[in-house]
Amino acid sequence: MISQIGNKTVSIIITTKNSASTLEQCLFSSQNQTYPDLEIIVVDNNSTDKTIELAKKYTKNIFNHGPERSAQRNLGIKKSKGEYVLIIDSDMILSPNIVTECFQKIRANNDIIALVIPEESFGRGFWSQCKKLERSFYQGVDWMEAARFFKKDIIIELGCYDLENTGTEDYDLPQKVKNKFGNNSIANIKSKILHDEGRLKLLKTLKKKFYYAQSIPQYKQKAENINNFKKQANPIQRYKLFFSAPKKLFRNPFIGLGMLFMKTSEFIAGGLGYLYKKNK
């Protein structure tokens, strides 16, 4: 029987860059977990807003590092004292029982190395509602959900996050775990992360997809990523997923059609980013 109270430190690692608009909710939810033995680590990347000021209200473990999120996360892992690490972004809000549930699940089964936490989006405006609908299709889909809770010593052994992957690093590390330790090394919990999309702007989203797609050549060349990449990068696979639940997709026809337009535009932006990098 696993105790309801943990006896191992869990380190929550949060990467930031000009994150003042969402960071306080993230930090508050991290601090108010039911799990008792926590440390919060913030790794910033030269923010010019009030990110650091807000972070200081919740933790003394604040570092500055770059140039990208993978490097920030790796520094956070290196600086952490926990036996387990939870890697989150600054626009995420943790439900109170997440760390406790993760700890209990990973301690109950020695085969489990990493845990997937389902995500649910919220935000203001039309495009945020479209993104919320899109993300709702990914819950329980193993090639679209990525693990965020890890046994620290194992991911250090695997080299942590690949510095050449930006935007795809969420998938790359868990797939390294699965490739070495098998499908049963990654499991799911039920408690959710709420992902604050804010007021999503389509153009900004497309620019982000263009930029992140430039790391795809490094991501797809790894043998452990091939099977997932074929599904993740295939628009037909994504549309099949969306149309597998037509009532859900078109419950609000405007949101459903908007989501399909947004996702098609993202695929085009990503394809252009990939081609730009490949021919650079």
> 130: domain CATH number?
3.90.550.10
The domain tally of the chain equals 1
User: Looking at the domain assignment, is residue 275 inside a domain?
Assistant: no
**Can you give the length of the chain in residues?**
280
CA distances from 167 to 102, 173, 212, 234, 271 (A): 24, 12, 5, 17, 14
From CA 49, how far away is CA 54, in angstroms rounded?
10
User: Looking at the domain assignment, is residue 274 inside a domain?
Assistant: no
Confirm whether pTM is higher than 0.85: yes
**pLDDT value at position 6?**
53
- Domain span at 188: 10-199
**pLDDT value at position 7?**
61
**pLDDT value at position 1?**
31
Taking the CA atoms of 28, 12, 171 and 115 in sequence, report the sign of the dihedral they define: negative
User: Looking at the domain assignment, is residue 1 inside a domain?
Assistant: no
The CA-based angle 166-14-55, given to 5 degrees, is: 135
User: Looking at the domain assignment, is residue 46 inside a domain?
Assistant: yes
CA atoms within 13 A on the CB side of 82: 28
Cβ neighbours for 235, distance < 8 A, ≥ 6 positions apart:
263, 264, 267
The backbone region for 257, taken as left when phi is positive above 0, alpha when psi lies in -120 to 50, beta otherwise, is alpha
User: Looking at the domain assignment, is residue 270 inside a domain?
Assistant: no
**pLDDT value at position 91?**
97
User: Looking at the domain assignment, is residue 277 inside a domain?
Assistant: no
From CA 249, how far away is CA 233, in angstroms rounded?
21
User: Looking at the domain assignment, is residue 265 inside a domain?
Assistant: no
From CA 280, how far away is CA 272, in angstroms rounded?
12
User: Which residue positions in the chain have pLDDT lower than 70?
Assistant: 1-7
From CA 274, how far away is CA 211, in angstroms rounded?
9
- The pLDDT tens digits of the residues spanning 229-250 come to 899 999 999 999 999 999 999 9
**pLDDT value at position 166?**
80
Cβ neighbours for 114, distance < 8 A, ≥ 6 positions apart:
147, 149, 150, 151, 155, 174, 177, 185, 186
Q: Which residues of 116-128 are buried (b: 16+ CB within 10 A; e: fewer)?
A: bbbbebebeeebb
Cis-peptide into 96, omega within 30 deg: no
User: Looking at the domain assignment, is residue 223 inside a domain?
Assistant: no
**pLDDT value at position 3?**
42
